[in-house]
Amino acid sequence: MSKNLDQGFWNAAQKHLIRYGGSFEPAIIERAAGSFVYDADDRPILDFTSGQMSALLGHSHPRIVSTVSRQVGQVAHLFSGMLSRPVVELAERLAALAPGLDRVLLLSTGAESNEAAIRMAKLVTGKHEIVAFSKSWHGMTGVAASATYSAGRKGYGPAAVGSLAIPAPNSSRPRFKHADGSLDWQTELDDAFDLVDSQSTGSLAAFVAEPILSSGGILELPHGYLAALQKKCRERGMLLILDEAQTGIGRTGHMFAFQRDGVTPDILTLSKTIGAGLPLSAVMTTAEIEEEAHAKDFLFYTTHVSDPLPAAVGLAVLEVVAEEKLVERARYLGARLFDGLSRLKQRYDCVGDVRGRGLLLGVEIVKDRKDRVPDHQLGAAIAVEAFRRGLSMNIVKLPGMGGVFRIAPPLTISEEELDLGLKIIAEAVEAVAKTNLPNIAAE
């Protein structure tokens, strides 16, 4: 019998865990290494989501293991008013990677980094309204949750006063179109800001955006959009906050996704990838904004701010990314993965769209290619089948967001592993198409 069926484990899990969203995978994970996690039968499962979109260097990268072991023995945590070398070195290194964003605050989670960024924007502008995209995800706490529109709004009482949303541009399902049917994002953006202006009480503080809306279904901001968005912000005295939790540190084939667009935000937040699976996040901003915030007594004093252990991990992550040329690798492997997935699109009617950048790709599962109605159920069946065959892929699972696989393997993945993943996806689609849905065309 499979050790994954350990009834004691599952009974205790059911009895004692608070369920926090979605369902649990039907395996007990005992260990992880490189691009694989291993279940209780020591079966390898290829991890196409880098844990929770974070394990940029794969699992148990030797440099991370040695850094944690060394640093935990040296100094892991400190009184929040004390500084250590890894903190200052990481701040210096990050600043060198993002010219103009010279000041850095090191925290633990993505939500926390967005809380700090928004808090700073409010203090500096003296205003309080925060605008975000309708399919955004910025975290599960306070104002980060208030700026999260893709899920989790119902049942928790009022969001922060002054929370506003505009539609995320969607090139594959345009709301505003040019004559040739392509997305007219400028008209959409103008229209959206007309609405913002009519709702605003004159207190617009900031816009917070993901360069690629990941939880919203891998919606990429089109070329030129970020610059236009920044212009809208400047015209209104708002700050532009970019949340690069998932896109930062090379995943899209640039160190930061905003670099493709030549737009530097006023505040940048990093999490997930910067700790490569350990809890580390960062807020970066200009010297001017930081001076202004400090002059107004900016307070974001937390237990784990400036902790040396995660900072040392962040430094190791940046070193490995540079040494192993992982930014270039994300671009190269991303193109290979994109091609492979596009071939699946040609073969299977239910693969409606392949999109994204670098090693952050989305595959939309639809009822049929002509009508392109998202098919969450079919997507979920494919994910279950893929998992059975040894591939973990995340399908946007929450109700109302369904039908898109988010594929984001570690940047250290080998070409063979990438091809193995593609093969399993094809087999899973084929198997599900054959058994469940006879109307889905093969080839």
Ligand X SMILES: Cc1ncc(COP(=O)(O)O)c(C=O)c1O
Q: Enumerate binding residues for ligand X (CB under 6 A).
A: 109-111, 114, 137-139, 210, 214-215, 243, 245-246, 271
List alpha helices for 225-367, DSSP H: 225-235, 258-261, 287-295, 308-323, 326-347
What b-and-e string marks burial along 241-251, b requiring 16 or more CB atoms within 10 Å of the CB? bbbbbbbbbbb
Catalytic residue (choose from 47, 102, 129, 137): 137
Q: Say which residue the tokens 């945590």 belong to.
A: 77
From the centroid of its chain, how far is CA 100?
23
Query: Which is closer to ligand X, CB of 340 or CB of 362?
Result: 362
Judge whether 274 and 317 are in contact, CB under 8 Å. yes
Catalytic residue (choose from 188, 246, 353, 367): 246
Rounded CA gap, 67 and 45, in Å?
26
Q: Say which residue the tokens 């505040």 belong to.
A: 267
Query: Which is closer to ligand X, CB of 366 or CB of 411?
Result: 411
Q: Is 210 noted as a catalytic residue in this protein?
A: yes
Residue at shortest CB range from ligand X: 110
Query: Which is closer to ligand X, CB of 132 or CB of 428?
Result: 132
Edge-to-edge strands, sheet with 129-133? 103-107, 281-285, 267-270, 239-243, 204-209, 129-133, 163-166
Catalytic residue (choose from 272, 329, 355, 357): 272
Least CB distance to ligand X at residue 168 (A)? 12
Query: Which is closer to ligand X, CB of 39 or CB of 210?
Result: 210
List Cβ neighbours of 268 (8 Å cut-off, separation of 6 or more): 98, 101, 241, 242, 244, 248, 256, 258, 283, 284, 285
Least CB distance to ligand X at residue 240 (A)? 15
Least CB distance to ligand X at residue 60 (A)? 20
Judge whether 233 and 240 are in contact, CB under 8 Å. yes
Catalytic residue (choose from 122, 236, 355, 406): 406
Q: Count CA atoms closer than 13 A to 316's CA, side-chain side.
A: 25
Query: Which is closer to ligand X, CB of 162 or CB of 211?
Result: 211
Least CB distance to ligand X at residue 272 (A)? 6
Q: Is 272 noted as a catalytic residue in this protein?
A: yes
Reduce the DSSP state of residue 19 to 3 states and report it: coil
Q: Is 243 noted as a catalytic residue in this protein?
A: yes
Q: Tell me, what DSSP letter sits at residue 18?
A: P
Q: Is 7 noted as a catalytic residue in this protein?
A: no
Q: Is 369 noted as a catalytic residue in this protein?
A: no
Phi then psi for 392, rounded to 5 degrees?
A: -100, 120
Catalytic residue (choose from 115, 129, 243, 430): 243
Least CB distance to ligand X at residue 139 (A)? 4
List Cβ neighbours of 287 (8 Å cut-off, separation of 6 or more): 102, 103
Maximum alpha-carbon separation in the chain? 66
Least CB distance to ligand X at residue 416 (A)? 29
Query: Which is closer to ligand X, CB of 139 or CB of 410?
Result: 139
Least CB distance to ligand X at residue 230 (A)? 18
Query: Which is closer to ligand X, CB of 35 or CB of 109?
Result: 109
Catalytic residue (choose from 210, 364, 375, 430): 210
58: left (phi over 0), alpha (psi -120 to 50) or beta: left
Residues marked as catalytic:
137, 210, 243, 246, 272, 406
